[in-house]
Structure formats: C-alpha cells, structure tokens
Chains A and B, each alone.
Chain A
Amino acid sequence: AQSVTQLDSQVPVFEEAPVELRCNYSSSVSVYLFWYVQYPNQGLQLLLKYLSGSTLVKGINGFEAEFNKSQTSFHLRKPSVHISDTAEYFCAVSDGGTSYGKLTFGQGTILTVHP
C-alpha cells in the first residue's frame, strides 16, 4: 500500500521569499510522483511530475521538485514566491503498476503568501 505525508498543513511566507513544501511517501514498488495546485474555488492543476530520469523536475510557474529515493521524499521548492502562489498544494503518488494510474494524495499544504 502507498501513503503520502505532507509535513506541513500551513506555510505562511512573505512575497519574494523562498519556500519549500515537504512531501514524504511510502511505497513497496517504483513510484511516480506528482504535485498538484488548487487555487481557491477551482479544481486541481498539475504543477509537475516525476516519472523517471533526472531527479530534479521543473514545473510550471517557476516551481521545481527533487525526487530523493533514499529519503523517500519529493519536496517542492520555489526560490521567490508571488502573492498569486497562494493556494493549496497536494503531493500524490501512483504506483503505475496497473494501467489505471490510481493516485494516493497527501493531506495538502496551504501556502499563504503575504505582501
């Protein structure tokens, strides 16, 4: 069975500061990892994904994440945040073992960017 833990439920930061949202996973098989973002009153939008290859993954809106297999982590980072980055962020894992691609999500991290 897979599980995902997002270590911070809320992260407040000031505009232009760097941010890291932490995600740890557990799985007995190879995994695919995702970060989704949900802006207020909207659905989920894919930020980035790790399927294979380079462990540093770049996504939209200046976000990046690093896959660390030994630490079973997939932390999301941005060097300088904007007010518009205020949203809820979800880390998710898929084992890809079936063709259905079921996702297991973390609890979510609410990022609030203050002026």
Chain B
Amino acid sequence: DVKVTQSSRYLVKRTGEKVFLECVQDMDHENMFWYRQDPGLGLRLIYFSYDVKMKEKGDIPEGYSVSREKKERFSLILESASTNQTSMYLCASSLMGAVTQYFGPGTRLTVL
C-alpha cells in the first residue's frame, strides 16, 4: 500500500512565523503535490514537484515556497505566516505518467 505521511496533524503558529510542513511518501513516486483545502472551495493546488529539486507553481502559490531535496520528501514553507493561511494542507504523490494521486492525512494549520 502507498503510504503518504505528514509531519503534524495539527499545528498552531503565530503571525509572522516561518512554518514548515513536511510530507514523506514511501513508494518511490516521482510526483508530489501540495494542496490547501477550504470549506466551499475544495482543494486548490499550491505547488507540485516532478523530480528532486524540480518544482512548479500551482494555482495559488503566493505566500508559499517548497523544497524537494530527496525524492521521498516534499516540504511546504510559509515564509511569514498570515491568518489567511489558516487552512487544511494536504500532500499527495503519484508515479510519473500516472494520473492517480495518493493523499496524506492532512495538517490542520491555525495561524493566530
């Protein structure tokens, strides 16, 4: 079974803090994705990566950056957290050439 894990289920941070969300997958997938989920808006793609050190912007990249130094790990970085970044963050992975994504359990981030 594919397993995607996220470092925290719940996180509370203060405005202006630098925040790291970590995602690890154990199936040697080339593609990894970060989404945020908000009520009534569904999931929106923030960034994705198709290889180590490669990244592309998704639909809502403003205020976020990412890092992929190893194939299995994809980090989402909030350089200076703001209250409008309070949300559920979901990580996903997939094989190159495949369209099915596998999701982690999510991190619910609250920025005060």
User: Footprint of B on A, CB under 8 Å?
Assistant: 4, 6, 9, 32, 34, 36, 41-46, 49, 51, 90, 92, 94, 96, 99-108
Contacts and interface: CB of A to CB of B under 8 A. Distances in A.
B98 to A, nearest CB: 6
A69 to B, nearest CB: 18
A101 B106 contact: no
B63 to A, nearest CB: 20
24 contacts: A9-B40, A36-B103, A41-B9, A42-B105, A43-B105, A44-B43, A46-B100, A46-B102, A49-B99, A90-B42, A90-B43, A94-B99, A99-B31, A99-B96, A100-B56, A101-B31, A101-B100, A103-B43, A103-B45, A103-B101, A105-B43, A106-B42, A107-B42, A108-B42
A48 B94 CA distance: 16
Contacts of B40: 9, 107-108
B61 interface: no
- Top 7 A-B pairs ranked by shortest CB distance? A101-B99, A105-B42, A43-B103, A44-B103, A105-B43, A43-B105, A107-B42
A29 to B, nearest CB: 13
Interface in B49-104: 50, 56, 58, 90, 92, 94, 96-104
Contacts of A101: 31, 94, 97-101
Given A51-B99, A94-B99, A42 B48 contact: no
B41 interface: yes
Interface of B: 4, 9, 31, 33, 35, 39-45, 48, 50, 56, 58, 90, 92, 94, 96-106
A42 B37 CA distance: 12
A7 to B, nearest CB: 13
Tell which of B48, B50, B100 has the most Cβ of chain A within 10 Å: B100
Tell which of A41, A44, A92, A107 has the most Cβ of chain B within 10 Å: A44
A2 to B, nearest CB: 11
Contacts of A102: 33, 45, 48, 58
A101 B99 CA distance: 5
A18 B101 CA distance: 28
